[in-house]
Chains A and B, each alone.
Chain A
Amino acid sequence: MKRVVQHPPARETGRTYWRSLDEYSQTPEFQGWLEKEFPAGAAEFWGDDVSRRSFLRLMGASMALAGLGMSGCRRPESHILSYAKTPEWVIPGKTLTYATSMPRRRGGAPLLVTSYQGRPIKVEGNPAHPAAKGKADLYSQASILDVYDPDRTRRFTKLGKASDRAAFLAAVDEAVKGAGNGAGLAVLSQEFNSPTVNRLRGELQKKFPQITWTTYEPLAATNAAEAARIAFGEGKALRLNTAKAKVILTLDADILGSDEGGLQAVRGFANGRKLADAQTPMNRLYAVEGRYTLTGSCSDHRLRVAASRVPAVAAALLRAVTGSGPNVELPGGVSASWITEAAADLVAAGNSALVVAGAGQSVAVHLAAAAINQALGSLGTTVEVVSAPSPSSVSFLDLTGKIREGQIKTLFILGGNPVYNSPADLNWSEWLRSVPTVIRLSDHEDETSALSTWNAPLAHYLEAWGDAVLEDGSYGSIQPMVLPLFGGISAPQFLARLAGISAGEGKDFVEGPELVQDTFRQRAGSAGFDAAWQKFVRDGYLEGSAAKPETARVSAAALASLASVEIPKPALSANNLEVAFVADTSVDDGRYANNGWLQELPDPVTKVTWDNAILISPTTAKELGLYQATENGKETTDIVRLTLGSRTLEAPILIQLGHADHALTLTLGYGRTQSGRVGDKVGYNAYALRTSAAPYVITGATLEKTGHRFQFAITQEHWSMEGRDIVREAPLEHYKQNPKFAFAQGLESHAKPTDKSFYKSPPFDYEKFHQWGMVIDLTSCTGCNACVIACQAENNIPIVGKDQVAKGRELHWMRIDRYFSGASKFRSDNHREELPNDPEMVMQPVTCMHCENAPCETVCPVNATVHNEEGLNVMAYNRCIGTRYCANNCPYKVRRFNFFDYNKRQLDSLYLGPLGEAGKPDSIQMQKNPNVTVRMRGVIEKCTFCVQRLETAKINHKVKARGAGDYDSIKIPTDSVQTACQQSCPADAIIFGDLSDPNSRVSQLKKVDRNYNLLDYLNVRPRLSYLAKVRNPNPKMPGADKVGSSLIHAGAHEGDHGTGHGVHEDGVLGHEPAAPGKEHGSH
């Protein structure tokens, strides 16, 4: 299809006045736009030469819905003309939200997308959906950036050369026309989880009965599905209900970190740890795992055991709980009492216990977990069997077989990236070349595109109509927020064309929601269709459609098979290493490789950005002569050559405390060669070692040093708290005896902050103004990073690139400090010392504390950072000259400096200042939140407590309360505003609100006995406080006395003080954290 002809390209420099009016109104295209709701031109961004001007012009046109573009003024183009015809609901300056869903590997994520004048700018969870409750994980939230990714496929190509839409469509029609019964046709699709895709697939199969359909996901939970099939029958699946679980045991399952559990698992777990006081019941988590995961970090007891040895642990557990099952020898280092006591605890919890097996574990382990759950009686309470029907497909292996045999003449690839992520042993890139015609819809022109005959853009989920089966099995809608920016085609549109469904007069594809409506009609019936459809789209899901729990028993055959199952007993050693493949916490299986936010997001455990590493335990590293050292202040590590069978891989190691010995963890998703300017040449490709036989865990690897060194960009290089009272923590029993343990651990228990000041500041007015504050509950925080991405999306925080992160210049306003506790003092950065093998891990989200006595404010010479009357420490970017003194004087180091113009910096080229090419790709700028300043270089920035949200809430409320008199004293209703981090936290560990309102949750939580201020002895009076972490060890477990006790000093130390910790002359125990005070403040 031809490109819409615009007036001659705008001159690059100089002024142009009112050049567009005539030109626009004369063209037939303009006339066409006037008639459509969305101008077709907005769909025409592909092509090689999308200039910034034409991009903005078109976007402006689409936003203005056929408004008049105005170009070429002195300032960057902006379109401030009012709508010629105002669309419904659009109020300039106001945002709109739409419910939609994001298709994901294991079920869609229910979302709410905020759109500003036609641009979607923020993704949050759908508050109406019971599984999301307003929460969304980091991938969903970061997906907004992909809409504007300038590296997305934006053209039609034939054999890598630019072609056009018409030729592509002709080729597609040609391929289908001569296909006969479809024997030579095959479709290889990524998992869309879409009923409409499935319905159209049925249509396609009706037309071509012999067509081959394969759904391939490199990280599909095939073993779990297979186990569910064996145990409960065809089309069944297990769903965790951690909310009901009192004792949870995971077998190599990262239910809190990855999508193995989903948001519901995190919420259920976290709710079981919300302690109002020491008497609140608390759940308990046992984690059996090889690499350190977030689940392990939250666990009360963690068994460090290599993934290949987990089956033996599972078998022992099965035996300990049920009394039957294979009798196996426990792997070395696993004490028998660990198993027996954990089993006893599970049995005692009965139907409130839960055992979960990880996706990487074998079918037998999943079956064992199901058998244990059944024996405990928890089948139906903590773990539910639900129907999850999916049409049967030809497996990826079989498809590869057909290709090898030359049966496939035409292969359609919908999404995915099999050339990159298929098992290495299948040699897919070679076989793909042998298929005569490969027609591909792709997000990016990636590795698979390069080998496809035809490549066309795939629409982003925010650009097309669709539907999805959500996490909980309910039926979710997908609605477009914007027309495809780069002319993308959605999977349903494409399948409908293949199936010969008419798109309507003069159209290439079905453009409206008709395809989804047909599916919806089948599901919901045609009676009252319009109203039901409206509600479906408005709610984002079909109410009451969630999968219902069914009563089911593990089949006898499955139980019998367990008795005779062979348990692997790998003899792991330095010459026989285990390799485990896991999804990366940032880029997943590689699909998010070109997403800058995710690339720069620190891994929650390793804190590595922009890379993946071979994780290895300290002991094994030492045994192999590998080391990590601080050279010139930067951690460097060895690059090693890893050999697995006939395949080798060179990659850097990273020593991971708490990792199982003689085991390596390789994260997938890196080493992309054709993902775009962000993701290319980042990390190593672990798929090169992954085989179809052992996609998750394999043994027999060897490793040798290459002699080369590597430097990671790590946001937190120091892992020890050095004995400081930063993350205060105690076991539950200690908490019961010492409800105020958090104060006794602090330095302020020795040295109360004094409150003498030269500058008596006016007090905060609690009557008249809101007084904002925040509490973060360290007991329920899992460290999942959702808040970090939420903050980045909300507050226009740019990415800075690997080189800048390596220099320590990352800009995240919110960070999660990760410490390993229980390690010895003063040794953490001396590589000659022994590193602890099995420490505990704690997480602490840190953001601006909005200190009432803010040390940053007094030192700013130009008054660029000051307090407002609501207790916020606010930044005036326009006033800031960048002395950086505030950042030096901030004890929490939450202030960030724009060392360069990061909003203009090109990631893939040297930054040359004004001499270099200006600007990031313009499309990225369209994601920016219009209510937040985009900061220039040379200014300090930091968390604002999302002041733009507070102001919006206040304005909205005042508008509602108009006429009530004194505007200043009008306060918004209790807890009616949320910061972005709070809004996204699936564990609900971040609570923000108004301290002047005694009913607000934050006011309530400030009274909890575990509430403490970080570095309170400095008397900076932070408005953000923490609830100390409590762990719930089982006293009978081996090593239970050490759990959560790293900051509990021994009695000897108390002797020094005579009166012991925290007791002062006045007899008051400890220094209670300075309550944000009316009497006290600083302006």
Chain B
Amino acid sequence: MSEATAHFGPAKGNIMERKPLVRNNRSMAWITEHVSAMIESKTPIWWWVFTIISGAIATLVPLELIYLVSTGVGVWGLNNPVFWAWDITNFVFWIGIGHAGTLISAILFLTRQKWRTSINRAAEAMTIFAVICAGIFPAFHVGRFWMAWFLAPVPNANAIWQNFKSPLLWDVFAVSTYFTVSLIFWYTGLIPDLATIRDRAKNVWRKYIYGVLALGWRGSNRQWRNYEKAYLILAGISTPLVLSVHSVVSFDFATSIVPGWHTTIFPPYFVAGAIFGGFAMVLSLMLPARWIFGLHDLITTKHIDNMAKIILLTGTIVGYAYTMEFFIAWYSGNPNEAWVFQFNRLSDPYIFSKWFDSGVAPYWWAYWAMFICNVFSPQLFWFKKVRTNMWAVWIICMVGPNVGMWFERFVIIVTSIHRDFLPGSWGYFSPSINDILLFVGTIGLFCFLFLLFLRFLPAITMFEVKAVLPEADPHYHGPDAKKGESH
């Protein structure tokens, strides 16, 4: 990994030099060729294999939804008192994953983090697909899907308006706004690259389709100026949305009175968790893509290192939040609140139940899975060796945040409501096969859409990567300029 700085020679005088964002002095033409080749080359076998497999899994989604809507929510394992379980867990999980894309695009854009350029396109695509997967659950988890339009503020014969006190309604607006803005933001960013693909196209259909999608982009100065403004405005609009969506999602729980849900720490904790999970998912997808497409020069170890640091930071914030919940539960003196943390979540059969002299928490395994995956596993990123080892990063992301964040939502939702105020109404939730198949189906759908994206759209923002090349700097005088120092 040291060859990146090799051409700077011995460290003398160059100690503060940043690592370049594109390695091996790749030219602009090389970038165009290389990224376009992902779309233009012959369809590789592996793509067919993965796309067919994930597409087949994705068909579970419509099948499960047909069964669900035709038969009733009872096909899931829900019960009284656990009226929400995998449905809302999956919703929050996917919507959380949908955070990294817009965060990378918008917030890192506004803060001039140049390293975002090679990963933002794919991260944004991932956001769109994750929000699509997320949206399935709240839409279809309702008992009467065909009446879900009651959520929309359209005048109706009953003259009943929506209840704007309900966080679920806020959710509807927050998620739909987020999806719309993310989609526009993503599409706007795609236009110059779509035009590149159009210009390179040799096939009439391809020319025609990408031509339509490119919206007549000619790369004129005026177009660039408008584009830059629009992109900046959209980034500005997206930035608060990154924070608001997951805050609003957290209100679904925080504004309730259920012990374990009713927690003021939720908005920042959810946002941190979403960024945590989202970055992990970006890495989970981009590392294999980088390897397959040979994008090592564009997505460098620096990118990965940065993202691993963000995962370490947000994972630690999440760990702080988990711990703070315990403190507040104790400090509030509310026994119902304390119960949830102590006896619904923490009490494992080996240590804590013995210490508390209590029964075993029915979902202790979920709580501990969450804690280990989300708080302990990212601590490995303190070590640079780990951060720069692609296999280590990928494995930690897959089994750490990706799994842990699903468990986090499961723990929050199910372990709080399965035993709340009145012990006489306590219950237990076990998923049915349909819970599982629908979730697996959305994973298939997500992968399927992402594979389509890799094949049909430029997965790396070519024009922005070019902008971070040294050559893009007006003061740049070629690789030899530094050596010469003789102006």
Contacts and interface: CB of A to CB of B under 8 A. Distances in A.
A827 B430 contact: no
Given A879-B160, A882-B142, A827 B359 contact: yes
Given A861-B162, A897-B80, A883 B168 contact: yes
B394 to A, nearest CB: 33
B426 A717 contact: yes
Interface in B57-82: 67, 70-74, 77-82
B72 A863 contact: no
B260 to A, nearest CB: 11
Contact of A900 (B71, B158, B362, B426): B71
A826 B359 contact: yes
A634 B147 CA distance: 34
Interface in A891-915: 891-893, 895-901, 911-915
Contact of B163 (A747, A863, A891, A895): A863
Nearest to B152: A862
Interface stretch (B112-120, B331-339, B403-411, B465-473): B331-339
A89 interface: no
Nearest to A892: B422
A1037 to B, nearest CB: 29
A899 to B, nearest CB: 3
B74 A720 contact: no
B382 interface: no
A880 interface: yes
Contacts of A826: 343, 356-359
B195 interface: no
Contacts of B166: 858-861, 885
B358 A718 contact: no
A543 B480 CA distance: 120
A87 B423 CA distance: 53
B257 A891 contact: yes
Interface string B117-157: 00000000000000000000000011111011011000000
Nearest to B66: A913
B236 interface: no
Contacts of A15: none
A750 B333 contact: yes
B346 to A, nearest CB: 13
A375 interface: no
B74 A718 contact: no
Given A855-B257, A898-B143, A938-B143, A893 B72 contact: no
Contact of A828 (B70, B77, B161, B359): B359
A718 B427 CA distance: 8
Contacts of A722: 339, 423
A1074 to B, nearest CB: 15
A937 interface: yes
Nearest to B339: A722
Given A808-B80, A817-B422, A881-B142, A912 B430 contact: no
Interface residues of B, number: 65
Contacts of B356: 826
A907 to B, nearest CB: 14
A827 B172 CA distance: 42
A938 B142 contact: yes
A630 interface: yes
A859 B255 contact: yes
A721 B426 CA distance: 11
B423 A724 contact: yes
B256 A899 contact: no
Interface in A843-881: 844, 846, 855, 857-863, 876, 878-881
Contacts of A355: none
Given A718-B424, A829-B359, A938 B257 contact: no
Interface in B65-120: 67, 70-74, 77-84
Contacts of A819: 423-424
Interface in A630-644: 630, 632-634
B237 interface: no
A309 interface: no
Nearest to B167: A859
Interface string B325-361: 0000000011110010001000000000100111110
A452 B357 CA distance: 62
A1018 B358 CA distance: 26
A784 B131 CA distance: 51
Interface string A201-220: 00000000000000000000
A908 to B, nearest CB: 17
Interface residues of A, number: 79
Contacts of A885: 83-84, 166, 168, 252, 256
A1018 B257 contact: yes
Contacts of A914: 70-71
A818 B422 CA distance: 11
B315 to A, nearest CB: 28
A817 B163 contact: no
A1015 B142 contact: no
Contact of A889 (B82, B151, B256): B256
A830 interface: yes
B80 A893 contact: yes
B368 interface: no
B362 A751 contact: no
Contacts of B160: 862-863, 876, 879
A807 B77 CA distance: 8
B169 interface: yes
A328 B454 CA distance: 91
Contact of B83 (A724, A888, A1020): A888
Contacts of B217: none
Contacts of A804: 74
B423 A726 contact: yes
A759 B356 CA distance: 41
Contact of B67 (A863, A891, A913): A913
A896 B79 CA distance: 9
Contact of A863 (B147, B162, B335, B423): B162
Interface string A931-947: 00000111110000000
A165 interface: no
Nearest to A936: B144
A887 B142 CA distance: 13
Contacts of A887: 80-81, 83
A521 interface: no
Given A633-B429, A809-B80, A819-B424, A888 B417 contact: yes
B8 interface: no
Interface string B265-308: 00000000000000000000000000000000000000000000
Contact of A893 (B71, B145, B167, B420): B420
A958 interface: no
B425 interface: yes
Contacts of A880: 143-144
A751 B331 CA distance: 13
A720 B426 CA distance: 11
B443 interface: no
Contacts of A913: 67, 70-72
Q: Which 10 A-B pairs rank lowest in CB-CB distance, beginning with the nearest? A: A882-B143, A633-B428, A938-B143, A899-B74, A913-B71, A817-B424, A808-B79, A830-B359, A893-B425, A884-B83
23 contacts: A808-B82, A808-B428, A817-B422, A855-B256, A859-B165, A862-B160, A863-B163, A879-B150, A883-B141, A889-B257, A891-B257, A892-B421, A892-B425, A897-B143, A898-B72, A899-B72, A900-B72, A911-B71, A914-B70, A937-B143, A938-B72, A938-B142, A1015-B421
Interface of A: 630, 632-634, 716-724, 726, 747, 750-751, 759, 804, 807-810, 815, 817-819, 826-830, 833, 844, 846, 855, 857-863, 876, 878-885, 887-889, 891-893, 895-901, 911-915, 936-940, 1014-1015, 1018, 1020
Given A881-B142, A893-B81, A938-B144, 15 more contacts: A633-B427, A807-B77, A829-B359, A863-B163, A879-B150, A881-B150, A882-B142, A884-B83, A885-B252, A888-B81, A892-B422, A900-B71, A911-B74, A938-B143, A940-B143
